Structure 1
């Protein structure tokens, strides 16, 4: 699938990996809908940058954990552009809780992380699927995490939520075939605002990675776009982590 003139929705598209993906999609010729929940100024800045470089983009607000908002967002995009061809399920949240602090992983934390990280990705995929099926072509990339593979992450509920994303990817790949391909890109440590206040920890990690570098948002965006374009691949969990998990 060439991305030229395709209509792409990127959730959490105004910051970090989402922003880098939105910009790269636009450079490859896609029309980009940049979703945000609270980061309105960042999303609008991403749209401005795309439009200034000759691309086409709009910002669309929706809390992906709310199905009605997701459906309304997709309806808005379809009304303006006619369809949705590509979905990048990037929006995710976390809570920083020591892995052994089970008492702090309360019901509210579990609900919030699963509502956004897992149910939100399902809601978005479900909302765009009819339009992709109508065109008999579509591609979805979910953003996982090595936390979902190793069990170690910013919190226990976060790691489990990302393991669920990996499983959701395989189930959606089966449910939506053959018209829609669904894959998952799994970053390791990436230099984004998630490391805010812990930059020294990130810098200490880098020399211990096989490639001795922390991935950039652009590294992950490049793999996301490649997965979207690869027409012979679905249901795959693709790790991009500078050798962190070897």
Structure 2
């Protein structure tokens, strides 16, 4: 059974990816930093469905912690053959609030949205290269394509992730490295701002909200599409058209 590691895999898009990969026949390691109850609940759901899963606590912005996490997953489930870099963060700021985009905000968002995927890919590189079809899927955002979003540092950090995806596709080949860039998805990030989120979602061409499961289907498609690498797949219901 191939092993998949999903960072931030207990909630929202990450949880949907964890369940989707399980249903496709993979053992799943679900990493979390604070959401232990959610991660354990996802593990319990997978196990109740006859699958194998573990929850692993790790700060993915800490290089040493990531190395230890991958070693732990390897020891308990086997080598990491599928890596989904889903963990992410934002700090909402008006795009023109240049003073609010402090060094601390930049460092926090670059650490989670750019450096964490880099640390995870590097830590799992030997496992991925040894696999028959090692795969990395990064979860980006249309903010990285449009330059707009919840804050300027967030949009730039996701744009940098697009670049990392393409460069890793070259550096890790024949390991395949791709990215899914969702539009607005109503996850817990929008808690308390659901109405504003739904108003923004009306810009999509398709008359329905994009769900975590929609994104997970795209992730699974990239995992299983053996001719695709270095690509960014937009899942936004036509929001950016």
- TM-score (normalised: structure 1): 0.96
Q: Which residue of 2 aligns with 1:168?
A: 164
Deviation readout 1:182-212 (Å, 9 max, x if unpaired): 0000000111011111111122233331002
Kept after mapping to 1: 8 A contact 2:201/2:239: no
Question: Are 1:202 and 2:197 matched, yes or no?
Answer: yes
Q: Aligned partners of 1:112, 1:202: CA distance in 2, in Å?
A: 24
SS in 2 for 1:103: coil
Query: Structure 2: any 5+ residue segments left out of the alignment?
Result: none
Q: Which residue of 2 aligns with 1:53?
A: 49
Moved more, 124-133 or 135-144: 135-144
Query: Equivalent of 1:193, from 188, 203, 209?
Result: 188
Q: Which residue of 1 aligns with 2:22?
A: 26
Equivalence map 1:54-203=2 (5 Å): 54-178=50-174, 180-203=175-198
Query: Equivalent of 1:242, from 203, 215, 237?
Result: 237
- TM-score (normalised: structure 2): 0.98
SS in 2 for 1:208: coil
Aligned pair count reads 241
Deviation readout 1:8-41 (Å, 9 max, x if unpaired): 0000001000000001111111000000011111
Q: Aligned partners of 1:206, 1:163: CA distance in 2, in Å?
A: 21
SS in 1 for 2:170: helix
Q: Aligned partners of 1:141, 1:133: CA distance in 2, in Å?
A: 15
Query: Structure 1: any 5+ residue segments left out of the alignment?
Result: none
